[in-house]
Amino acid sequence: MTVTAFSALLGPYLDPAAMAIVAAGTVGAVILRTPARDLARGVAALGVLPRRRFRADALVEQIAALGRIAKRHGVLALDRSVIADPDVAAAVAAIVDGADADTVVEQLKSRHLARTERHLAAVDVWASAAELAPAMGMIGTLIGLVRMFLAMGDPAAIGGAMAVALLSTLYGAAIGNLIAMPVAARLRRAARDEAFERLRLEAPLRALARQEAPRKRGPVAVPTAALPLRDEVESL
């Protein structure tokens, strides 16, 4: 099919007025109901779509390597390690600073929860667009019908008004079900997969923190039975 034939095929389905009503209305409504920070996250999240599914295998291997370094050179040697993942880097920094295993895991869970909330905020942006686009299509349809009724005395204007009415519904359904909703579903799947994968980091980081536990213990109490009695001391 040539470009000319393709353009002729799609020509009847292209209407700038209907597209402007649906697209501008959807974007405007999403902006009004969403904080600016979440909007930025929703747009930035589009870069996640072409990436592979998140896997924690490399991070688990890196934590195991850090454990071997800690056994050989001590936990303080981990302070010089280069760790790209922010969650693992924060956990290792806490271990170097003397945090116990429970504290490290709680900090890791808090970071995981905050990360999940950020991901869901991005998902909500596209879910809102999927919800609003068909509604904007209905608004465009009503606008087109009003224009059509006002132009009943001009047969030439009826066709343009009817095109706005029908194509607005088409654009709203297409944007909501073919663009926004699939994006929201894929982002939700990516967030869920990453959340499950990051749960695998808790056990090795807890074990790494426990390696430092013996070094953090205070003076060992001497059993009372091992201490000389007062009378025996005074008799010396």
What pTM did the predictor assign?
0.78
Confidence at 155, pLDDT banded by 50, 70, 90: confident
Residue owning tokens 């930035």: 44
Q: Report the sign of the C-alpha dihedral through residues 56, 58, 59, 60, in that order.
A: positive
The model's pLDDT over 6-29, given as tens digits with 9 standing for 90+, comes to 556 667 778 889 999 999 999 999
Contacts of 137 (CB under 8 A, 6+ apart): 22, 168, 169, 170, 171, 172, 173, 176
Q: What is the pLDDT of residues 68-107, one digit of tens each?
A: 998 888 888 888 888 999 999 999 999 998 889 999 999 9
The string of pLDDT tens digits covering residues 125-135 is: 999 999 999 99
The backbone torsions φ and ψ at residue 218, rounded to the nearest 5 degrees and listed phi first, read -80, -170
By the 8 A CB rule, do 83 and 95 touch? no
**Helical spans, DSSP H, in the chain:** 3-10, 16-33, 36-44, 57-73, 86-96, 101-150, 155-174, 181-198, 202-211, 213-216, 230-235
Distance CA 211, CA 228 (A): 35
Dihedral sign for Cα 120, 123, 125, 131, please.
Answer: negative
